[in-house]
A = this chain, B = another copy of it.
Amino acid sequence: MGLVVQKYGGSSVADAEGIKRVAKRVVEAKKNGNQVVVVVSAMGDTTDELIDLAQEVSPIPSGREFDMLLTAGERISMALLAMAIKNLGHEAQSFTGSQAGVITDSVHNKARIIDVTPGRIKTSVDEGNIAIVAGFQGVSQDKKDITTLGRGGSDTTAVALAAALDADVCEIYTDVDGVFTSDPRVVKKARKIDWISFEDMLELASSGSKVLLHRCVEYARRYNIPIHVRSSFSGLQGTWVSNEPQGDQPMEQAIISGVAHDTSEAKVTVVGVPDKPGEAARIFRAIADSDVNIDMVVQNVSAASTGLTDISFTLPKTEGRKAVAALEKTRAAVGFDSLRYDDQIAKISLVGAGMKTNPGVTATFFEALSNAGVNIELISTSEIRISVVTRADDVNEAVRAVHTAFGLDTDSDEAVVYGGTGR
């Protein structure tokens, strides 16, 4: 008998019908001889509705109270799910984040999990119950206040509970069939990935893939908890994310796991920065002090004639205004010429651990973009990822071209020949 942690997102429990469907699936896992712990998000648009209400009474809702408010959403869905399960003749008990022992720091609205002490959950499942736990929420260690975990919080709750309970698997149920080689809305021939390593999944997540958030994958990797991402609307196998392939999955990893894209970023270019030590540090200290997270950073070699260089970086569009304001303040100190802000960009990333040992991946990538008539504005690479910035208008065509070039399209068994050597 195993212990399974299942997580259902808001779209899976959007209404009474959805909750009943989820209840059936949970009971199925229990009938298969497992101990089952279920983590749920708030129903459908509940969280958004609560946020709207908050903004009606207060333009800047306070952290502590805002968290108290939002956690009502999961309280509703978890209680309803427990009722629906009982209605199918099985025992279920629901627990708030606090009752489930999800201990966090005190940073409201984006708390981090410090510890999970799942004593009540353990007792509940040992007594034969299905335990339902509110995702996205915890209780602060010092003040005993209710906290929320921020974006992707419910997935993180599920993985953290799976780790604390030493679960066999953490199943993340969602409204898609799994992780795809690219966004199926853009690439019709995108293929569901059967298995992907934690490392590749981490790169995909930070490159724009929305199915799993970086934070949750990182947690799973640290505690080595296999994640199974699958649809709550079908019984199909989804995507396994783990250190090693599971069961009958092919042992050999694909060279390229997928092509991700991200249109949520903007590009800032600091033009005419004196090319001497400390200037870049000064720029990025100003950015960091204004609490802006940046993504890619690119510096070109300076023109010998002027001794000036340009530094470009990307960041979430939502933080663009803050970053530009912070930089303007440092203009005199740094002595740069001008700032350029561009939010009409897209980032396209090719991810795959196989690229380390397969020469020519970069060349094939760039050739595919070139053949599609897509211009590359910035390039940045990690060991298992290559990212480029292009015009936002080009993104769909670019992603499709790259997806095809690497033989990722479904029903395509053609071998891919990489031109050139090395990356």
Contacts of A241 in B (CB 8 A): none
Say yes or no: A79 contacts B65, CB within 8 Å.
yes
Q: How many copies does the complex hold?
A: 2
Q: Is residue A179 within 8 Å, beta carbon to beta carbon, of the partner chain?
A: no
Interface centre among A16, A23, A75, A99, by most B CB within 10 Å? A75
Using A58-B86, A58-B87, A65-B86 as known contacts, list a sample of 20 further A-B pairs with CB atoms less than 8 Å apart, ordered by residue number in A: A16-B53, A16-B56, A50-B76, A57-B80, A57-B84, A58-B83, A59-B87, A60-B87, A61-B83, A62-B86, A64-B82, A64-B94, A65-B80, A65-B83, A66-B79, A68-B94, A68-B96, A72-B72, A72-B73, A72-B79
Instruction: From the candidates B20, B54, B60, name the one contacting A80 in the complex (CB within 8 A).
Output: B54
Say yes or no: A57 contacts B92, CB within 8 Å.
no
Contacts of A78 in B (CB 8 A): 68
User: Are A62 and B83 CB-contacts (below 8 A) given A53-B16, A94-B68?
Assistant: yes
Q: Is residue A174 within 8 Å, beta carbon to beta carbon, of the partner chain?
A: no
Task: Give CA–CA (A16, B20) in the complex, Å.
Answer: 32
Q: Is residue A182 within 8 Å, beta carbon to beta carbon, of the partner chain?
A: no
Contacts of A147 in B (CB 8 A): none
Instruction: From the candidates B19, B58, B59, B76, name the one contacting A72 in the complex (CB within 8 A).
Output: B76
Say yes or no: B76 contacts A80, CB within 8 Å.
no
Contacts of A83 in B (CB 8 A): 54, 57-58, 61-62, 65-66, 69
Contacts of A23 in B (CB 8 A): 57
Q: Is residue A93 within 8 Å, beta carbon to beta carbon, of the partner chain?
A: yes
Task: Give CA–CA (A82, B66) in the complex, Å.
Answer: 9
Q: What's the nearest-Cβ distance from chain B to residue A318, in Å?
A: 22
Q: Is residue A71 within 8 Å, beta carbon to beta carbon, of the partner chain?
A: yes
Contacts of A20 in B (CB 8 A): 57
Instruction: From the candidates B62, B79, B99, name the one contacting A69 in the complex (CB within 8 A).
Output: B79
User: Are A93 and B76 CB-contacts (below 8 A) given A57-B19, A83-B54, A83-B57?
Assistant: no
Q: What's the nearest-Cβ distance from chain B to residue A10, in Å?
A: 15
Instruction: From the candidates B60, B84, B146, name the one contacting A58 in the complex (CB within 8 A).
Output: B84
Interface centre among A73, A83, A96, A144, by most B CB within 10 Å? A83
Contacts of A59 in B (CB 8 A): 87
Q: Give 14 pairs: A residue, B residue, CB < 8 Å, sorted on A.
A: A16-B56, A16-B57, A19-B57, A20-B57, A50-B76, A54-B83, A60-B87, A61-B83, A64-B82, A64-B94, A68-B75, A68-B78, A69-B75, A69-B83
Instruction: From the candidates B60, B62, B86, B144, name the one contacting A82 in the complex (CB within 8 A).
Output: B62
Q: What's the nearest-Cβ distance from chain B to residue A130, in Å?
A: 12
Task: Give CA–CA (A275, B146) in the complex, Å.
Answer: 63
Per CB-CB distance, the 3 closest pairs between chain A and chain B, nearest first, are A16-B56, A69-B79, A58-B87
Contacts of A19 in B (CB 8 A): 57
Contacts of A93 in B (CB 8 A): 64-65
Interface centre among A79, A86, A144, by most B CB within 10 Å? A79
Task: Give CA–CA (A84, B79) in the complex, Å.
Answer: 28
Say yes or no: B80 contacts A69, CB within 8 Å.
yes
Closest B residue, CB atoms, query A50 = B76
Contacts of A81 in B (CB 8 A): 57
Task: Give CA–CA (A57, B22) in the complex, Å.
Answer: 11
Q: What's the nearest-Cβ distance from chain B to residue A91, in Å?
A: 10
Say yes or no: A76 contacts B64, CB within 8 Å.
no
Task: Give CA–CA (A53, B84) in the complex, Å.
Answer: 11
Q: What's the nearest-Cβ distance from chain B to residue A66, in Å?
A: 7
